[in-house]
Chain A
Amino acid sequence: MKKLLILSGKGGTGKTTTASAFIQFAMARAFADCDVDAPNLHLITHVGAEPEKTAFRGGNKAHIDPAKCINCGECARKCRFNAIKAAGAVRYVDEFACEGCGVCEYICPRKAISLQPDIAGELTLYRAGRAFSTAQLRMGRGNSGKLVSAVKSALDAAAPDAAFEIIDGSPGVGCPVIASISGVDMVLIIAEPSLAGLSDMERILRAAQIFGVPTAVCVNKYDVSPQQTAHIEAYCQSRGVPLAGRIPYDTHVPDAINAGRCIADTDCPARDALKRVFKNVVAMMGGAKALEIAAAD
């Protein structure tokens, strides 16, 4: 099985649009949305099945029994996350600050504190001939990396025979991105031609290098700044990062998103460019045959 992960560093550069188009071009049987903070792929990629939803237990949160608490403050002194707050004569736990380490439970002289399982998000799996795994992190939760790993495991379990998986990633270079990179065969970075886009692309390229995954870059909305596009491409060439192509700014894209459709279904310049990028990426990953997809034309 070959896995393609789509990342960007900077947000809003076109990861999900690209992922949805690739899924359509490849007629992919297995795909996932690992942007668990702000998942959007399901808005434009429809599998046509009722999803299976599962609560995701991310970790634990401490609870203080007010009947047992003597307000000695030992827990607050030992908590590294500033999660113990005072309310009158008792203490309570700020559930958003608590990381569930158990130090307070250990230190409490009255055994007033217990750790209880916490629902940190919801996993969603669509299955109808093909498998689509996605999730939503509960607000304010810090378990995004673990949830990303769970999304990927759910996909592998639902489509063990798929030759090709397409994974939509999240912005940034931190926890969810690191979790999404593990085990993939290739990362495609969607870059935006701006000073900020170049800076973020450099960071995500270096992060991908740390994890040793082959990486290619494509520039979206390249015509917004031909000059910055040239900078991005020159940067990639100087470092031996392959370029997968350019996509023009095209108002058909927001129109398609707002209509809940994949851009691959609209005859427009962005679709044609995405198809060329797709073919290049397929070639980089060993060709259509290896990925068991019909040769894109």
Chain B
Amino acid sequence: MKLAVLSGKGGAGKTLVSVNLACAAGKAVYVDCDVEEPNGRLFLKPTDLVCEDVYTMLPSFNEDSCIGCRRCVDFCRFNALALVRRKHRLFEEVCHSCGGCSLVCPMDAVSEVKKKVGQVEYGWHGRVRAVTGILRLGEASAMPVVNAALAHLAEAELSIIDCPPGSGCAVMGCVASADMCLLIAEPTAFGLHNLKMVYELAALLKKPIGIVINRELSPYPPLDEFCAENSLPVLGRIPYSEKYARMSAAGEILTESDAEASGIFHALLSRIGGELQ
């Protein structure tokens, strides 16, 4: 079972829930797709790390074969190419690696070279396999690294996808790979506003949805009303607790150090299982 954990708003508790569910399950695969700011590894501290580089392809131009026809420049929809004094200039940050320039070149003067855009590392925390996608700083597009991390999802056991915030293309890719979505809601007006967007996204892709309300200080009725109106099951509520905040700040895994928290996440895990039946 592949479970996507998402929230829209940042800082709602995606990583907290993902990591604790993986540990409560015992045997699981945890995949951190928040490649811009991956944090699950800070809690899981995986050992026996293996690291793989992630590349995209960039065009490379053989200026000796080039006849200056400009077909490549004219074809590029992303304005990533210019031809200045018969030499090509590539604006790497806007190149989408579509391969169009090499396709249209009549002289076969365009080849492709690998460019490192990030890495995927994986290791173990007990019987939890921890996979982390890490975007190289300065790179704009997270998609290649997200896809490389998603390639580690396992069919046989519980795989948890810790998604990026927002509801853009990377989140869409994660949700498309999942069997079910767990939406983490912060009980504030900000949290609800952003939850509605990821709810639309998960509903559009027709995935079963469960809600977890995190850091509940006091009830926020508009959130419960929204869940009721859309028949969204609230599968768990995690209270605000100074103790949890302190433990999380220090990188501790709640299920492994606190009996009450362990109860919350084991109960959540069984309700997720029940929802999918």
Contacts and interface: CB of A to CB of B under 8 A. Distances in A.
Contacts of A174: 36, 135, 139-142
Contact of B194 (A10, A38, A144): A38
A171 B97 contact: no
B250 A38 contact: no
The 4 tightest CB contacts between A and B, nearest first, are A11-B10, A12-B11, A37-B166, A101-B98
Contacts of B259: none
Interface string B163-202: 0111111011000100000000010111001100100110
Contacts of B197: 38, 139
A210 interface: yes
A6 interface: no
B42 A257 contact: no
A2 interface: no
Given A40-B190, A96-B176, A140 B169 contact: yes
A101 B201 contact: no
Q: Is the interface of B mostly helix, strand, loop or mixed?
A: loop
B91 interface: no
Interface stretch (A24-32, A191-199, A276-284): A191-199
Interface string A209-249: 01000000000000011011000000000000000000000
B169 A251 contact: no
Contacts of A210: 137-138
Interface in A28-46: 37-38, 40, 43-44
Interface in B179-234: 186, 188-190, 193-194, 197, 200-201, 204, 217, 220
B103 interface: yes
Interface footprint category on B: 35 or more
B178 to A, nearest CB: 14
Given A80-B98, A100-B77, A101-B100, A40 B141 contact: no
Interface in B77-103: 77-78, 93, 96-100, 103
A110 B79 CA distance: 27
A243 B100 CA distance: 47
A161 to B, nearest CB: 31
Interface in B101-151: 103-104, 135, 137-143
Nearest to A144: B168
Given A80-B97, A192-B11, A257-B189, A173 B172 contact: no
B12 interface: yes
A141 B168 contact: yes
A254 interface: yes
Nearest to B176: A96
Contacts of B220: 258
Contact of B189 (A9, A225, A260): A260
Among B11, B140, B248, max chain A CB count under 10 A is at: B11
Interface in A52-76: 59-60
A178 B99 contact: no
B166 A38 contact: yes
7 contacts: A11-B11, A37-B8, A173-B135, A174-B140, A175-B140, A195-B251, A260-B189
A93 interface: no
A172 interface: yes
Interface string B47-85: 000000000000000000000000000010110000000
A105 to B, nearest CB: 10
Contacts of B156: none
Interface in A187-207: 192-197, 199-200, 203, 206-207
Contacts of A59: 77
Contacts of A178: 93, 138, 140
Nearest to B13: A12
Contacts of B217: 251, 254
A96 B43 CA distance: 32
A140 B140 contact: no
A10 B11 contact: yes
Contacts of B248: 194, 196
Contacts of B164: 172
Nearest to A60: B77
A44 B188 CA distance: 12
B250 A103 contact: no
Contact of B10 (A144, A171, A203): A171
B230 to A, nearest CB: 16
Nearest to B97: A80
